[in-house]
Structure 1
Amino acid sequence: MKLFQCTNCKSTVVFENNTCLNCGFKLGYSSYYNKIVSLDPSAATWQVKELDGKTYEYCENYKHTVCNWLVDVSRDRKFCLACTLNRTIPHLLDDDNLKKWKHIEVAKHRLVYQLLRFRLPVVSKTIDDDKGFCFDFLEKDELPEESKGLKTGHANGVITLMIAEADPVVREQVKQQMAERYRTLLGHFRHEVGHYYWDLLIRDNPEVLADFRSIFGDESQSYADALTTHYNNGPKANWQQSFISKYASSHPWEDWAETWSHYLHLTDVLETAYNFGLKSNPKIIAKKSLKMNAAFDPYTVTDFSRIMETGIPLLFTLNSMNRSLGEDDPYPFIISKPVEKKLEFIHKLLKGIL
């Protein structure tokens, strides 16, 4: 994630801030200009010279303190790009629902930020039902009886998330039940949106689909049968050698979505490191010394080797720092050579260099 500054006092601010703690000015994010600007706290609309001089107001969801994005008033649109993606939100008269929704929106806004950095099309299904996508944030009692076990999922551009996932206790319980290494709201979003972009970028492109199958396998095999086999018998033997996770070994679609989400993890971590100017020079003598210098914007680099040569030492460093605080590894995964090849496919697809 990019590191931002208050345009009034130059203090460091972060993506979710809606007020500068130093000068008291309001803060708003422009998704078009990828910039946070300071705003007069006594006004409700602002002519923002730091952007384009047009008049802006907050997204309608600002009133719920779940969004700090700006909307051009001339476009006669109350919701920002990220919030137009919401088709269903929780009942907000319940304070617990509002608390969960806030956590969900933090993760979702970070997802949309990243999709825009990749210059991917981000269109709400409420605007374009055929090619868009949307989110349903549901409570369990809103599901039909046959779907009571649903947690998250994607179907034809609709991404469903149970709001219970925003409860860290519930999420950890499910993580233990599923024997997962990693389970976060942002991880859910990255995985599920990967299914949507597979449909959009690969499904109807014969050449890209052929390349996909040569690396991930034939997705035309029965998805339902593959998942049944996975849940009944467990992951494929020696799955660590070819897949980023156990679930990735269940079917090529899930391999794609899991690997896609990890490419987004890696890119986001690298952008954060780049914005903080991170580099490392470990005090060891080894063939691979784990030296690292995050001196590039990962969204603009075309050479995939730079992503890996910097990303692997960076992830190792992050894991080591967490252990120093008595916490689990934030990235408890091994990127094998076959997984690296899959990540490179995604990198080239997004860069248009397949």
Structure 2
Amino acid sequence: MRTYQCRVSGHPLYLENTVCLGCGTPQAYSRAEREIVPVRPEGEREAGRDGGRGASYVDPQGTAWWPCADVALNGCTWLAPADGALCESCALTRTRPNDADLEGLGLYAETERAKRQLLVELDARGVRWVPRTEDPETGLCFDLLSSRAEDVVIGHADGVVTIDLAESHDAYREKVRMRLGEPYRTMLGHLRHETGHYVEGLHVLGDEERTRRVRALFGDDRADYQAEIDRHYAEGPPDGWEASYISEYATMHPYEDFAETFAHFLHISDTLETALEQGLLPAGTDLSGPFGRVVVDVWVPLSIALNQVERSMGKPDLYPFVLAAPVVDKLDLVAELVTS
């Protein structure tokens, strides 16, 4: 969650800003530049040679960009490559609530906001992904479904991430979290975890050497998935799981362990960069190098401090997890593999 800067006034901007509060200039996010850029509102755009509406923004390479076509539907703040087109984030959504489902559409907008943050994180970390339009068999896409009309199971299969939009509702999500005894549950967390399954398929599975290294730490992913899930829900996590796993959910199957670890890689790396940006870490703190070292030297002390701040307000810990040495090794390997 870095701070951007208005190119007109120099005033601070944040990821979802649509206008600069310093000078009133309309703003939008350019994924091509990874920056928030000033845009021209529709009434001030010069018509193009084809007689259509002029571009909202022209980047330094001379490429024209327009507001995402879903700006009115879900509040999208990204630029799209053509007039009336979807931005790269909204284009990943394969299924959404129908226009008559007003409750579902409200939750859909919040979920799209979290998805845009996820994609900014992946870009910042250098985690490659391929959209479904380029790889129809296993490319990444999202089914954002409303459980108001049907049962929805959050999950991933062959690049398709399925999300229950009800999880954007704070009261519902907290009810589920309490029922399952989880220490942490957010929409962004769901998106990070399920995308972790996709990332493992793209960056690890299919490469013999990478698969061997992951299996050495996470276990053999060829274990029967359904049998392992049934075992988990029947027996619970194994005794002493905290010594080797980041969460109870990670003990289900090596696939889940990898996805949970990937999600925490994003939790930690994004929060560290935000803390550095906001002055919560000493200027010049080194966040490069082996991720395991960063976790031990920087993240653990910071997370303890942040947890204490939360407790001072009578709130639960910000990061309610203990990172044993084998977990740090897993985080280090995931960070290496998905960013190279």
Q: What aligned pairs does 1:248-287 form with structure 2 within 5 A after superposition?
A: 248-279=250-281
How far did residue 55 of structure 1 move? 2.2
Q: Which amino acid aligns with 2:98?
A: H
Q: Distance in 2 between matches of 1:344 and 1:221?
A: 24
Q: Using a 3 Å threshold, how does the CA distance of structure 1 residues 71 and 231 change in structure 2: closer, same or farther?
A: same
Q: Residue 204 of structure 1 is aligned with which of 203, 206, 213?
A: 206
Q: Does the CA contact (< 8 Å) of 2:126 and 2:339 recur in 1?
A: no
- For 1:88-103, list aligned pairs within 5 A: 88-103=95-110
- SS of 1:60's partner is coil
CA RMSD of aligned residues (A): 2.0
1:90 positional shift: 1.4
Which residue does the alignment assign to 2:332? 344
| Distance change (3 Å), C-alpha of 1:65 and 1:162 | closer
Alignment of 1:40-79 (within 5 A): 40-41=40-41, 42-43=43-44, 45-46=54-55, 48=57, 51-73=60-82, 78-79=85-86
**Residues 303-330 of structure 1: CA distance to partner in whole angstroms, max 9, x if unpaired?**
3213431111121122122222222112
Structure 1 spans left out of the alignment, 5+ residues: 280-292
Cα offset, 1:277, TM superposition: 3.0
SS at match of 1:203: coil
Cα distance, 1:50 vs. partner? 6.2
**Counterpart in 2 of 1:244?**
246
Q: Distance in 2 between matches of 1:274 and 1:50?
A: 29
Query: What is the alpha-carbon distance in structure 2 between the residues aligned to residue 175 and residue 183 of structure 1?
Result: 6
Letter in 1 for 2:125: F
- Among 107, 117, 129, the alignment partner of 2:124 is 117
Say which SS state the counterpart of residue 140 (structure 1) adopts.
coil
Q: Which residue of 2 aligns with 1:22?
A: 22
TM-score, normalised via structure 1 length: 0.88
Q: CA deviation at 1:219?
A: 1.0
How far residue 121 of structure 1 moved from its aligned partner, in angstroms, is 2.7
Q: What is the total number of aligned residue pairs between the two structures?
A: 330
- TM-score in terms of structure 2 length: 0.91
Aligned with residue 295 of structure 1, among 277, 284, 306: 284
Q: Distance in 1 between matches of 2:39 and 2:320?
A: 41
Write the letter of the residue equivalent to 1:266.
Answer: I
Whole-angstrom CA distance in 2 between matches of 1:93 and 1:43: 33
SS of the residue corresponding to residue 327 of structure 1 reads coil
Structure 2 unaligned regions, length at least 5: 46-53
Provide the secondary structure at the position in 2 that maps to 1:270: helix
**TM-superposition CA deviations, 1:214-242 (whole Å, max 9, x none):** 10011111110111111011111111111
Deviates more, 1:84-93 or 1:176-185: 84-93
Q: Which amino acid aligns with 1:14?
A: Y
Q: Judge conservation of contact 1:28–1:39 (CA < 8 Å) in 2.
A: yes
**8 Å CA contact 1:274, 1:297 repeated in 2:** no
Percent pairwise identity: 36
Q: Does 1:106 align with 2:113?
A: yes
In structure 2, distance between residues paired with 1:91 and 1:54? 33
User: What is the aligned counterpart of 2:141 among 128, 134, 157?
Assistant: 134
